[in-house]
Amino acid sequence: MKKSFLSLLFLLTIVFAHAQSQVLFNTSLETVTVYRSGAELNHTVRVNLPAGSSEIILGNIANTIDQNSIQLSAPVNVTILSTTFVRDYLKTENKSAAYVKVEDSLTIAKKDLNAIQNKKAVDENLLVLLDKNQTVGGVSSGLSVAELIKMADYYKTKQLDLKNSIYGYQVLETKQQAKISKLQQQLNELSTDKSGTKGQLLLQVVTKEATTAVFNLSYLSPSASWVPFYDLRAENTATPLKIVYKANVVQYTGVDWKKVKLSLSTATPSQNGTAPLLSAWFLRFGSPNTYRNQSMQNTVQTMESRAPMKTASNRQTADDVDRNLATANNNILNTSFDLDIPYDILSNSKAHSVTLNTYNQPVNYKYYSVPKLESDAFLLAEIANYEKLNLLPGDANIIFENTYVGKSFINPNATTDTLNLSMGRDKKIVVKREKVAEQSGTKLLGSSKKQTFTYEIRLRNGKSEAVNLLLKDQYPVSTDKSIEIELISADGASINTETGVLTWKLTLKPGVTEKVRISYSVKYPKDQTIENL
């Protein structure tokens, strides 16, 4: 009995001894899935564990994480007793390399400034001392004229040297202060990216025998995001539209992502995945606020319907895709892009451009103009079956005929069968809308006033090929019986009587000017005023 007790005491002593020492193991970041807001980071680490209980620290993880999302797997012979997330603010090696470099340069610059200021101060003091001793000898000293001239030349030369030297130090001091100011600004910018602070995971584990174990760690961090953007390139209206699908990835997790397998997902992992249910809505008499809380509690119930974190492997790609870097995976709820090559994304809060796909898309080009609002013609690229491109709302750079023409916005959340992408203004299509004075005017008819408006729209195609143009204008629509509107002439336009929108589908030949006219009248009581006519 005594022997068993001593053996147990010995084992407990070993366990407690191991538990007192904490060993740091830095993890290796293997893969990252970046969501529109947040990211899932996956690490691996190999640790050497003694028999019994141990406390180990897993380092090199994000500085901010959702602790409820931590998933840690270990071999079957290792039992994880507890996990605790902490930040490591104390260690100087947590400063980024860029921060340390600028910090060192700032220290040297301040030291150089101090040396300049010291030298300037010495010369200034010497000049003061020289000025105070100019009267040495005086009139009664018995100095000869030659000796006085020699002394005057010495003072003149010495004062000139000192003043020139002081001025030179002042110039150096100003330049050095400007250098220090720039370094300080750069240091302040680097200090805001949080790359100097990393996280740690404290683990308490137990194993029956000494072993080498591989841990797999994953968690969600809010300190990353991505937004889509595009390059729209077209050589001319006879060639397909090249859509370069890109993403700007930003991360400030404190961990530089070096050569990691990267995926971009449209999912929202932090969003509540439980779907609401409606219960009966009972009405009863009472004050407005009497049953508000009760009805709110009774109206919505929930059922478990957690959306999966990972996308399925059901793959859809465009028929005419130039594959560049990424593979699109779709399921019912979201889309993910798996990048085919490893990426480096530094933790500096700056956007890193990533190319997802390049599509050579057949499109139908047409021009569009609303001269009442804009005097220019806009080139539109009409895309059918655009769902397979997995586009997201985002800004787009437009390059047409090898020239950057501006920015546009892609909104794929349309309810139409085709998607119209604005390719910018084309100054070679000239559109002018002018009022025809001789066919416009005002007449008094008894108690009524009748105003007539006539506009002429001139269009000229300055391009070398014919173009199709969709032209739109409008006439007013009455909402009052006392206001009578008559469309006198629409010059062959398609008319929407509910909205007053007029549409012309025109084919403009090269170098030819086309004209269309619109004329309408508005009759209303002469003692009334229509402000927006």
Q: What is the pLDDT of residues 415-441, one digit of tens each?
A: 677 888 888 888 889 999 999 999 999
Whole-number Å distance between alpha carbons of 44 and 216: 5
What pLDDT is recorded for position 3? 52
How many other C-beta atoms lie within 10 A of the C-beta of residue 435?
10
Phi, psi angle pair for 151, to nearest 5°? -65, -40
pLDDT of residue 19: 43
Residue 13's H or E segment, with its range, is: helix 2-20
**Tens digits of per-residue pLDDT, 28-39?**
999 999 999 999
Confidence label for 344 from pLDDT (cuts 50, 70 and 90): very high
Q: What is the pLDDT of residues 139-189, one digit of tens each?
A: 445 667 777 777 777 777 888 888 888 888 899 999 999 999 888 888 877
Distances in whole angstroms, Cα of residue 16 to Cα of each of 12, 21, 54, 58: 6, 9, 8, 20
Looking at per-residue pLDDT, the higher value among 447 and 21 belongs to: 447
| Lowest mean pLDDT across 225-239, 259-273, 279-293 | 279-293
User: What is the pTM for the complete model shown?
Assistant: 0.62
Q: Which amino acid does the sequence have at 280? A: A
Q: Residue 230: which pLDDT band, with cuts at 50, 70 and 90?
A: very high
**Is residue 60 a contact partner of residue 154, using CB atoms and an 8 Å limit?**
no
467-474 and 513-525: which strand pairing? unpaired
**Is there a contact between 363 and 389 (Cβ–Cβ < 8 Å)?**
no
Q: CB-based contacts of 379: which residues, under 8 Å, 6+ apart?
A: 237, 365, 366, 367, 368, 400, 422, 423, 424, 425, 426
Which residues neighbour 393 within 8 Å (Cβ) at sequence distance 6 or greater?
Answer: 228, 409, 410, 411, 412, 413
**How high does pLDDT run on average in the chain?**
81
75, 216 contact by CB (below 8 A): no
Alpha-helix runs per DSSP H in 47-144: 97-132
What's residue 315's pLDDT?
34
Q: pLDDT by residue (tens digit) across 494-518?
A: 999 999 999 999 999 998 899 999 9
What is the arithmetic mean of pLDDT over 14-25? 60
Do 532 and 526 touch, CB atoms closer than 8 A? no
Q: How does pLDDT run across 76-108, given as a tens digit for each residue?
A: 999 999 999 987 655 544 566 777 888 888 889
Decide: 44 and 217 in contact? Cβ < 8 Å.
Answer: yes
Write phi, then psi, for 389 (nearest 5 degrees): -85, -10
Nearest-angstrom CA–CA distance, 37 and 225: 5
Number of H helices, E strands in the chain: 4, 29
Instruction: Return the pLDDT at 21.
Output: 61
Q: Which percentage of the chain shows pLDDT scores above 90?
A: 40
Q: CA separation (Å) from 7 to 1, 20, 22, 49, 348? A: 10, 20, 25, 22, 55
Rg (CA), the chain: 39
